[in-house]
Amino acid sequence: MQFMIGQKQISVYPCDEPDRPVIYLNTFEGEGEQVLHILNGGGCPPFTLVTVSDLDWNHDMSPWEIPSVFKNAEPCTGGADDFIGLLCGKIVPETEKEIRGNALWRGIAGYSLAGLFALYSLYQTDIFSRTASVSGSLWYPGITEYISSHAMKRQPDHLYFSLGNKEAKTRNPYMRIVQENTEKIEKHYREKGIDTVFCLNPGNHYKDARERTALGIRWLLER
């Protein structure tokens, strides 16, 4: 089932059973169906997957403006708050008209900048109780300071973090701190009593993105 809201394509993969979890996944290249195929192949608990694509990636997924930190890349222009408004105000209500029963709980997951967005969204809305930040862009300038100085709208039940074990092995001064930041952030939440995990997967940022995303979602579903 697919439809458009605010120039974003929404794909709903509904669960046959009523009153099951709903997980929202923001995608870069519409990879949601492949992630779902991986999950279904592993016999994960039943859930509804909702993917959002056709995103203005560096705008919709970024919490505030920063200049380009990669060669030949576009700057991030800080549109996350507006997209969270669209997500919570229109996408979630319209999507959940199409599911059986009600959402048992809602999760939000994402890879790279979408992993940063998933975590940031917890500070702007209380509708998500579980989050997977998969190879999340937690190198983002100012994110550790933001987390330490702001309160979440709702303390989540479970938080999943992962990285490739080669992601921090780079000359780029921003990416070089991604593992240090991720470990620091995960520890911050763990010390608040939140059920968290940090997983290191083999490879760099681009290796096995769909499989890593599926691992994060599976962890949320199996808690």
Q: What is the CATH number of the domain that holds 29?
A: 3.40.50.1820
- 10-47 residue pLDDT tens: 999 999 999 999 999 999 988 899 999 999 987 899 99
- Count how many Cα atoms sit within 13 Å of the Cα of residue 67 in the half-sphere of its side chain: 1
Structural domain range at position 76: 2-221
The number of domains in the chain is 1
- 64-100 residue pLDDT tens: 999 998 888 899 999 999 999 999 999 999 999 989 9
**Token pair of 221 as six digits:** 């579903």
For residue 28, give Cα distances in angstroms to 77, 122, 205, 211: 17, 20, 14, 15
